[in-house]
Structure 1
Amino acid sequence: MLHICMGLVVSSAATGCNSTGTVTRPVAPSLVSDEQALALPPPGGPAIVGVVERPRRNGVEQTISLATTARVPGQNYLRIEFFGPAVSRGQSAPFRAVHERAILREAAQAIPGVRLTRRSTFLQNSYGPFAYAAGHSGLGDTCIYAWQQIRAGTASDGIGRNFGMIQVHWRLCDFHAGEQQLLSAVYNYTITGTFDGKAWNPFGEPGRADSRIGETGHPIYPMAGAPAGSLSIGYAGGVELTPTASVMHRSAPVAVQRPLAKAEAKVREPGPRVPLPGNVTTRAGAENSASAPEQPTAQAPRVRVPSPRSISAPRP
């Protein structure tokens, strides 16, 4: 028994000597700057108000909070998840395949009180196909919940390429924007992050040039390759545009004449009228003209107004 106790003491002492005592911060969500966002909304909105990053052993997740003007409870966001090799500390995130029921439950939790309808139209942006559900709240908000999984197929040179995967989820509600305007954000956003190494490239190989280029008998027109031209209006960014918000014409203020007191009316006498430059009329001149009897312009005495140079000059 004594030998066992002595062994425990020795092992504890050895463990204490081997410990470095370095203070470390556990792997937890942290607030990062907007410049470190792994995805950016399109120019013009919605604006980024904060980025929360969750590091994982096999990737990273960011929730990019966006400006919200809707009356529905909740915050607009763009959540992006990178699934790849085990390169950092923390717990590994399990791969979750995209299932319709799970996505619709997730959308209902993200946008409470709004009945969303799954749109069945096939849509595709620069990163591949995506899907979304849309609805309207009782307060007049338009909401969409979109999702996309970016994963390249097997490369042409065999197995062992393109193992990385990215999942993107959008939650957008706006009081001033319509469904097409909200959808334009999903079409025009930019992913700024990727994996280090060709084996984990989730975007696949670059596309080849059009085979019609340079060939005779294959005309190429300006609008032939613009399928997204139906989205003529971009994201409004929560700014309400009204016809009355243009230039407002203000009318000139109307001069109100002050009635003269009786004593003041008796003392004042009509004096000579001094013409002023332009159409400027002083209040005293208006009062004098109102109280003085009308006289012909030809009979009014002319008063010589000295120039600024001769104000201090002696009289001749």
Structure 2
Amino acid sequence: MPTKRLFAKVGIVVGFVTAIAGCSQGASIHTSSVQKSVPADTAYVLPPPGGPAIVHVLERGYSNAIQQEISLATDSSVAGQNYFRVKLFGDLDPKEAGDGHTSSRSLALTNIGSEMRSAVRGVAMSKSPYFVQNRYGPFGYGIGRSGNDLCLYGWQNLRSRPALIGNKGSVDIRLRLCGTNATERELLAVMYGYTVNAYLSDSNWNPYGSPPAVPETLGAAGPDVYPVANNEFQTVAPEPTVTPRRVRRVQRQEAPPPPVVEEEPIGPAVPPPPGVSDAPAVPPPPVAEAAH
């Protein structure tokens, strides 16, 4: 009996030590951040060829969307980071979805002013009056100038007409872009040339709608068709440049002395003194004899 009790006590001790060891080896470390860094090649939006380059991508999940903030390279002196901010809305896999809910409504024009001021601090932004459209549809933008820097804030919401089956989901895009000595056309080229590089693997997810039909006038007789116009436009006029005034130095020259004017003698000529002659004496001509 004592031997059985001893073995029982030893077994209890061994089991307790094993349980403690198992608890100390099973824990893993987690961060409290709701965002995570992802590789640049997984960015939901790609800039056009030629840049700006992608330098970093942060991803965050919501219950109804996944958001990425794609940091872009910049040479501007305006405080802040250039970026694309993209949200993909749809029925997400619970493993990919996060906590919280974000609004999928289109941005109201009355709210764009405060959003631009928050994105481009310290720069007075003006909404552009021009109608603009890229291959995904119409978009809006604002322009602001700070010294030699020009800033653009663009917004676009890709959402097709709802249907009973299909055409679900949407894509919401923001662009904050500042550049030194940049023009409005150069900054707008990024809004015209970007590519949406992601989609949801759901047969009902289609924020683009049906492809547009080919225009009936294409290839038929009609008005002239020209390449993209090269007209100049600007929402915000550039600051006037002050050109330093060049002072032309003229070498001072001394005036030439006045010419010497010889005065003509006035009155009868005075004969030279006796014995002085300026010219050899010329003998007088012979006197002709009078005719008899």
What's the TM-score once normalised by structure 1's chain length?
0.59
- Counterpart secondary structure, 1:100: coil
Question: Which residue in 2 is equivalent to 1:256?
Answer: none
Compare CA radii of gyration and give the structure with the larger one.
2
Contact 1:59–1:81 (Cα < 8 Å) also in 2: yes
Alpha carbons of structure 1 residues 160 and 50: separation in structure 2 relative to 1, 3 Å: same
Q: Does 1:90 align with 2:94?
A: no
Tell me by how many angstroms 1:154 deviates. Answer: 3.2
Q: Does 1:31 align with 2:46?
A: no
Q: Map of 1:1-316 to 2, 5 A cutoff?
A: 23=28, 25=30, 28-88=34-94, 89-91=97-99, 92-137=101-146, 139-155=147-163, 159-212=164-217, 218-219=220-221, 224=225, 226=227, 228-230=228-230
- In structure 2, distance between residues paired with 1:147 and 1:77: 12
Tell me by how many angstroms 1:204 deviates. Answer: 0.8
Alpha carbons of structure 1 residues 231 and 70: separation in structure 2 relative to 1, 3 Å: farther
Tell me by how many angstroms 1:80 deviates. Answer: 0.7
- In structure 1, distance between residues paired with 2:197 and 2:79: 29
Contact 1:57–1:87 (Cα < 8 Å) also in 2: no
Alpha carbons of structure 1 residues 24 and 60: separation in structure 2 relative to 1, 3 Å: farther
Contact 2:35–2:60 (Cα < 8 Å) also in 1: yes
Which structure: greater helix fraction? 1
Letter in 1 for 2:126: T
Could you tell which deviates more after superposition, 64-73 or 97-106?
Answer: 97-106
- In structure 1, distance between residues paired with 2:51 and 2:109: 28
RMSD (Å) for aligned C-alpha atoms: 2.4
Letter in 2 for 1:101: T
Letter in 2 for 1:145: Y
- In structure 2, distance between residues paired with 1:206 and 1:62: 27
- In structure 2, distance between residues paired with 1:225 and 1:126: 18
Contact 2:83–2:177 (Cα < 8 Å) also in 1: yes
- In structure 1, distance between residues paired with 2:201 and 2:160: 15
Tell me by how many angstroms 1:94 deviates. Answer: 2.8
> 1:50-107: CA deviations, max 9, x gaps?
1111122222101110011111100100111111114233223232431123221111
Alpha carbons of structure 1 residues 113 and 81: separation in structure 2 relative to 1, 3 Å: same
Contact 1:60–1:82 (Cα < 8 Å) also in 2: yes
Tell me by how many angstroms 1:194 deviates. Answer: 1.4
Tell me by how many angstroms 1:22 deviates. Answer: 7.6
- In structure 1, distance between residues paired with 2:110 and 2:226: 35
Question: Which residue in 2 is equivalent to 1:15?
Answer: none
- In structure 2, distance between residues paired with 1:230 and 1:62: 34
- Counterpart secondary structure, 2:204: helix
- Counterpart secondary structure, 2:144: strand
> 1:191-221: CA deviations, max 9, x gaps?
011122231211111222333467xxx2389
Alpha carbons of structure 1 residues 163 and 24: separation in structure 2 relative to 1, 3 Å: farther
Unaligned runs of 5+ in 1: 1-20, 233-316
> 1:87-136: CA deviations, max 9, x gaps?
23322323243112322111101111111111121110011110001010
Tell me by how many angstroms 1:225 deviates. Answer: 7.0
> 1:4-41: CA deviations, max 9, x gaps?
xxxxxxxxxxxxxxxxx785856721111111001000
What's the TM-score once normalised by structure 2's chain length?
0.63
Tell me by how many angstroms 1:229 deviates. Answer: 4.3
